[in-house]
């Protein structure tokens, strides 16, 4: 198991109106728990059963937070999803939290 933590500075608060949960921890999939935060940061914690991909996680999150600049806490439980699936789930979570 690998636990990764990332921080992103949020340009504005209040993008997320409510918490959101998407996904399932199935093989090649992940679940995302997203909660609004009352801070100037977005925080991401990832637990993954496939270690060694922190750069790829960084890249996916960078891309996500370019479009999404809310202050949120994101928890990810990952069972080997591809970057494409990760991006999908993050987008779904963001949409569901509006």
Partner 1 sequence: MTTSTEPLSSVHMPKRRDSFIELNGRERALVFCDLDSWRELLGPFDRLESPWLLPQNVTPQADDGCIVIKGKIDGVSTVVVSMEPAFQGGSLGEVSGAKICAALDLACRDNENGIQTNAVLLLETGGVRLTEANLGLAAVAEIISSLLSLRQLAPIVCLTAGTVGCFGGMSLVAALSSYMVMTVEGRLGLNGPEVIEQEHGVEEFDSKDRALIWAIDGGEQRYATGLADALVQDDVGEIRQAVRGLLKAGVPSVYRSAQVDLYRKRIAALDTAQQFNPEDLRKTWHRENTK
Residues that bind partner 1 (CB under 8 A): 1, 19, 21, 24-27, 29, 31, 33, 35, 47-49, 56, 59, 63, 75, 77-79, 83-84, 87-88, 91-92, 95
- Residue nearer to partner 1 on the CB measure, 9 or 58: 58
Nearest to 64, CA basis, from 51, 39, 46, 38: 46
Q: How far is the CB of 11 from partner 1 (least distance, A)?
A: 20
- Residue nearer to partner 1 on the CB measure, 13 or 63: 63
């Amino acid at each position: 198991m690998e636990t990764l933590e990332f921080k992103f500075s949020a340009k504005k608060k209040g993008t997320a109106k409510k918490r959101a949960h998407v996904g399932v921890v199935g093989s090649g999939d992940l679940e995302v728990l997203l909660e609004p935060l009352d801070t100037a940061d977005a925080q991401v914690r990832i637990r993954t059963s496939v270690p060694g991909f922190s750069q790829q996680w960084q890249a996916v999150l960078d891309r996500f937070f370019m479009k999404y600049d809310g202050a949120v806490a994101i928890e990810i439980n990952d069972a080997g999803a591809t970057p494409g699936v990760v991006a999908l789930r993050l987008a779904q979570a963001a949409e569901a939290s509006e």
